[in-house]
Amino acid sequence: MPRPTTPAMRFTDQMGREILLDKPPGKIISLVPSQTELLFELGLGDKITGITKFCIHPTHLVKEKIKIGGTKNINLHKIRQINPDLIIGNKEENEKSQIEELSRSFPVWMSNIQNLENAAGMIHAIGKLTGTEAKAASITEEINKKFSGLKIFTAGLRPLKLAYIIWKKPLMTINKDTFIHHMAERCRLYNVFGEKQERYPEITMEELQAAAPDIILLSSEPYPFKEKHIAEFSDICKNAKVLCTDGEMFSWYGSRLLHAPAFFTKVVKEIYRSFETETPS
């Protein structure tokens, strides 16, 4: 008698694409650093078979995994050699043409994230995809709890104008359609370049000066801003407080969000203290 076949499991990703899995995934490739970290947090380390060279967390575990190129320059040949059961990517971080090519041969689930709610949905969905629903639910519950605490902490603070800088030459920032923008809003920091058309617009030093931000945050990624850059921006915007900040905390939308509210609380305290504004204890 012929062996019964397992009916395919249907899933819809955050781009509205349907994917089919004929079995729980045993070999997973992650094309996004923040989602790679999440997969390890979900206890799927033994099933992660390929990651990008930018997947750096958790440090002690990613070293042993096969590197399949960068987020924008995936090595399709290596992926075909691995023959994964599931590939997990992101609309913004991966190239559309390469995702389309991979989708012809493998199930590819894509996230599309602009805010915390999207991130929670992604965590829940990946839990369902990988049979780790309970752990995913626990993670999202804890994230929501901690962000609720952050909301209470910032509720009495006056809003400050923010310029969040991600690149130096050319000078680049963010608009309101980015995850970073929404994280900044939760710190009561309001993006002076939020209405720019491009998600990551180029600006001039003159535009930065004219925007008169109260606070300038220099991100550690993708451009590695350091303390030595603070003086340059302070000279341009003499009334602004200029700080370097951890770009991962503002832009990683996986399990890193478990730690973001505590980090944001420290950042907010430092910022408002510099303006001699009373902060909650």
pLDDT of residue 6: 58
What's the chain's average pLDDT?
Answer: 94
Q: Where are the domains of the chain?
A: 9-112, 156-274
Place of tokens 């043409």: 97
Query: How big is the chain, counted in residues?
Result: 281
- Domain 156-274: give its CATH architecture: 3-Layer(aba) Sandwich (3.40)
pTM assigned to the model: 0.91
- CATH topology of 9-112 equal to that of 156-274? yes
Helices marked H in 73-212:
76-82, 96-103, 116-130, 133-154, 179-185, 205-211
Question: What tens digit of pLDDT does each residue of 85-144 get?
Answer: 999 999 999 999 999 999 999 999 999 999 999 999 999 999 999 999 999 999 999 999
The reply to whether omega before 170 is within 30° of 0 (cis) is yes
Place of tokens 């929670």: 120
Token pair for 82:
């691995």
Question: What tens digit of pLDDT does each residue of 147-187 get?
Answer: 999 999 999 899 999 999 999 999 999 999 999 999 999 99
Residues β-bridged to residue 191: 162
pLDDT of residue 272: 86
Question: Is domain 9-112 classified as CATH 3.40.50.1980?
Answer: yes
